[in-house]
Amino acid sequence: MNPKKLKCCPWCGYGTGTRYGYRTTRKQPFFGSQKPSRRAAEDRDHKFLRIAIEEAYKGVECGDGRPYGAVIVRNDEVVVSCHNMVLRNKDPTAHAEITAIREASQKLDQISLADCEIYASCESCPMCFGAIHFSRIKRLAYGATAEAAGSIGFSSFTGDAWKDAGFPQLEIKKIDDSGAEQVFEMTKGKFI
Ligand SMILES: [Zn+2]
């Protein structure tokens, strides 16, 4: 056997490396995590949530609806960015999350969004929770609490009761310090 073809280390299965070469050529720790750092994950969440918040402002500004936005992300790329359309569409079900799910499904030409995440400017209502469930979205991240919406007279009805009742595949995360609560304060003059 050619000694140069020996496995370079007990962990290398290729058998073609230079002996001990893994120590100098492998840039990532062999058993180390490839996951982004916690800070990088937080920055990523804030980046996408910021887009949802901007959508909320945009929807109010153009008169389409109430101050809510939602963004659907796949593989770190925005698939769709939408806002509440209840006034424009004369449709009480046209919440930001519902609108985003419909548009993303059309755009991706599929009814399962299992490889997607949704960022919502505000905690989702039971209807949107249901839609997120049926779309199979894997992760929901939101900014403002429903109580913040309730403070200016919008519904503070949430899907809390559903969270423990059957969303095993859905990861839910509240994102703090995003500026999402301010959306209601800044736009309340349009609604009160
Ligand atoms: Zn909703």
- Quote the ligand 1 centre to 145 CA distance (angstroms): 13
**57 is written with which tokens?**
């402002």
Give the tens place of pLDDT for each residue, 60-73. 999 999 999 999 99
Give the tens place of pLDDT for each residue, 108-141. 999 999 999 999 999 999 999 999 999 999 999 9
The model carries a pTM of 0.78
Whats the size of the chain, residue-wise? 192
| CA–centroid distance for 42 within its chain | 12
Q: Which residues surround ligand 1, an ion (CB under 5 A)?
A: 95, 125, 127-128
Is 55 designated active site?
no
Annotated catalytic residue: which of 42, 61, 77, 97? 97
